[in-house]
Each structure stands twice: as C-alpha cells, then as structure tokens.
Amino acid sequence: MKNLLHSIRFGETTAEGNIFLAPMAGYTDRVFRSLCLEEGADMSVTEMVSCEGVARGSVKTIDLMTRAPNEKILNVQLFAPDAETARRSCARVMKANPQILDFNCGCPVPKVVKTGAGSALMKNPEEIGRIVKALKEETGLPVTVKIRTGWDSKSINYLECASIAFENGADALSMHARTKSQLYSPYADWSTLKTLKENFPDRIIIGSGDLFTAEDGVRMLKETGVDAIMYARGAIGNPFIFRQTKALLNGEELPEISTEMKIEKIMYHLQGLSSILGENAACREMRKHVCAYLKGIKNGAKVRHMISSALTIEEYKDQLGQLT
C-alpha cells in the first residue's frame, strides 16, 4: 500500500504533506489558519472570497485574502456565478500574491446558490469549465475546484463535473461527499470519493465530509484512495487534529490533548483575533470557537455560559481559570 502521508504538488507549488484545512466561511480567517498550520496542517484555504466583491474593490472582501504570518502557501477560495465575473476579479486577486486558487462549486448556502454560484454551478458543468479556463488564463496559477456529488439524489454528476474541470486545466479536485440538497446530513457517502479517484487515478483528488477525528482522516485515506484530506468542522475547536492525524499515519500513539493545552490555544487564538479586530469584537467572535474548544471538558458548559457575556481578555482568563 502506498504511503498515506506524502507531499502534494500543485503546479510549481508543493505542500509538504496531504492533511489540509478546508475553507469555512466565518471560521478560516488568518488567525485560525495560522493556528492549524502551527498544529501540523500542510495547507489551509481562505474563507470564500466573492469575485464580484473583489472586482468592485470591497475592502472587507479583499481583507479575506490577507496571508497569515506562517502561511507559506496562500490558497484563496473564490466564488462566482460565471467566468466573466471570475475573470474581472483576477487583477485584484493577484495583488494578494496567492500561490493557489480554489474555486467553489460546492457551497449549499442559499444566499450563494441563489446568485448562481456555489453548488448551483453543478447544474451547469460547462460553466465550471469556462471558469477554470478563465482563472488559468488570467493568473497562470494552479487552480483547484471544490464540488459536491451533485445537486440532489436525482442529479449525481460529480464525474461529469470533474471531467470538465480537468479538461479545462484544473490542477486538483476536492469533493465533499454529499449532494447540495443534503447540506451536512445524513452521513457523507465516502464511496463516491473512491469512485472519483478510480475514474481519475492520475489526478489529485482531495476528500472531505464527516472528518471529525484523526481516526476518521486515516480511515478516509485508506478506504477511498484519495490523495489528500481536508478537515472542516472537525478542526473547529480542535486544531490539534492535524498533529494527531500525522501521528497515527506515522504509526505513533494518538497524542493526548490536555485541558491546559486547550486553554493555552484559546488564549492565543483570542489574542490573535484581538490584534486584528480589537478586544471587544474579538471576544464576541471567539465565543463560537470556545464552545467547540470546551466540548466534553468538565465544567466546560458552565464556563461556556459565563464566557458568552465576556467582553475582555481578562474576563476570558478568569473564566477559563475555573477549568484548572
């Protein structure tokens, strides 16, 4: 059996390993990406960046492309309803100096889908091809494409979408193993990832969907044959999952993560957000992360409740101190 832990090459850019952080709107800002990279992620991807917003010069949209200090590979995920919109964004996208562009054809959120972007593009595979071609022509960068298995159970067309993307120059394809209509339940169908890889054995295929533990990641690599995996929800509150996965793939015991380690990471995370957003806004933004960090910890529910009203870093310290 092939070595499950290995480097991945995207054009002229090489990721040292194949355990990645998936893009998640509202979560994978540069602070969280930095934390995951510190904990062993081999590559991270930005939150979804609107090509229309970039083309119009939206400061908030452009800020999403800011590189984290330790981010050697800046992989910017873009979304747009058509090739022309994607093309118009390229000049400003390139000012961020990315190494890879990822194009989203999988987001199921209504406000994205209703514009014809995200997973709506799976109903128009030819447009996916035109978008990939436009991005390649305008930037010269490696372009990866994120898809789902189809729009719904009656339109499973991931093989067609993958074929068109690759024909038009896509350097890799990642797939969340659910349809758009399934959103995030029930279980992801990993057999589709296996089929995808079998149909494109010489292409880079990245798997995602229901990866909540290091054991899940190892199992997906073994069962599906995909070249790499992307942790999404499984990394929220648990950036340690990358280190743990690599330990298992190297035949080592699963590293234990202590409460003290989680508290240290929470405070580091909060300080990072504070340096960008300001203390008050950072404390509010951090609440959703803390809920995940403290899941399953003794007295965690009580502390989470108290932190829900914390507005200063000192208040966070005081409340988290009750856990030790």
Provide the CATH number for the domain around residue 308. 1.10.1200
Could you give the 3-state DSSP secondary structure of residue 93? helix
In a domain, 254, yes or no: no
Express as a percent the part of the chain with pLDDT over 70. 99
Identify the pLDDT of residue 233.
94
Is residue 210 a contact partner of residue 182, using CB atoms and an 8 Å limit? no
Identify whether residues 182 and 285 lie together within a single domain. Answer: no
In a domain, 83, yes or no: yes
- 314 by Cβ neighbours in 10 Å (0-12 / 13-18 / 19+) ranks as exposed
Final residue of a domain: which of 218, 249, 280? 249
Is residue 189 a contact partner of residue 150, using CB atoms and an 8 Å limit? no
In a domain, 141, yes or no: yes
In a domain, 2, yes or no: no
Identify whether residues 83 and 153 lie together within a single domain. Answer: yes
Please state, in angstroms and rounded to a whole number, the distance separating the CA atoms of residues 256 and 228.
24
Identify whether residues 207 and 84 lie together within a single domain. Answer: yes
Partners of 14 in the β-ladder: 9
Supply the CATH number for residue 46's domain. 3.20.20.70
Could you give the 3-state DSSP secondary structure of residue 134? helix
pTM greater than the 0.75 cutoff: yes
Identify whether residues 208 and 314 lie together within a single domain. Answer: no
> Which segments of the chain have a pLDDT < 50?
1
Identify whether residues 114 and 193 lie together within a single domain. Answer: yes
Is residue 31 a contact partner of residue 232, using CB atoms and an 8 Å limit? no
Identify whether residues 31 and 130 lie together within a single domain. Answer: yes
Is residue 174 a contact partner of residue 144, using CB atoms and an 8 Å limit? yes
Identify whether residues 132 and 69 lie together within a single domain. Answer: yes
In a domain, 3, yes or no: no
Identify whether residues 208 and 265 lie together within a single domain. Answer: no
The separation between the first and the last C-alpha atoms of the chain, rounded to the nearest angstrom, is: 44
Identify the pLDDT of residue 65.
97
Angle value at C-alpha 82, between 80 and 83, nearest 5 degrees:
105
Residues belonging to the active site: 107
Final residue of a domain: which of 228, 249, 270? 249
Which residues have C-beta within 8 Å of that of residue 85, sequence separation ≥ 6? 51, 52, 55
* Exposure b/e, 275-288, CB count within 10 A at least 16 = b: eebebeebbebbee
**C-alpha 258: how far from chain center:** 25
List, for residues 180-228, the tens digit of each pLDDT value. 988 777 789 999 999 999 999 999 999 999 999 999 999 999 999 999 9
Identify the pLDDT of residue 1.
41
Identify whether residues 216 and 263 lie together within a single domain. Answer: no
In a domain, 274, yes or no: yes
Is residue 120 a contact partner of residue 152, using CB atoms and an 8 Å limit? no
Domain span at residue 311?
Answer: 259-323
Q: Rg (Cα) of the chain, in Å, rounded?
A: 19
Note the maximum CA span of the chain.
57
Identify whether residues 263 and 234 lie together within a single domain. Answer: no
Identify the pLDDT of residue 321.
87
Is residue 323 a contact partner of residue 298, using CB atoms and an 8 Å limit? yes
Please state, in angstroms and rounded to a whole number, the distance separating the CA atoms of residues 232 and 244.
15
Residue 115 has a CB neighbour count (10 Å cut-off) of 16
Final residue of a domain: which of 249, 277, 305? 249
Identify the pLDDT of residue 306.
85
| Count: domains in the chain | 2
Identify whether residues 33 and 136 lie together within a single domain. Answer: yes
Identify the pLDDT of residue 182.
83
Identify whether residues 234 and 287 lie together within a single domain. Answer: no
Please state, in angstroms and rounded to a whole number, the distance separating the CA atoms of residues 23 and 28.
6
Is residue 151 a contact partner of residue 102, using CB atoms and an 8 Å limit? no
Identify the pLDDT of residue 2.
62
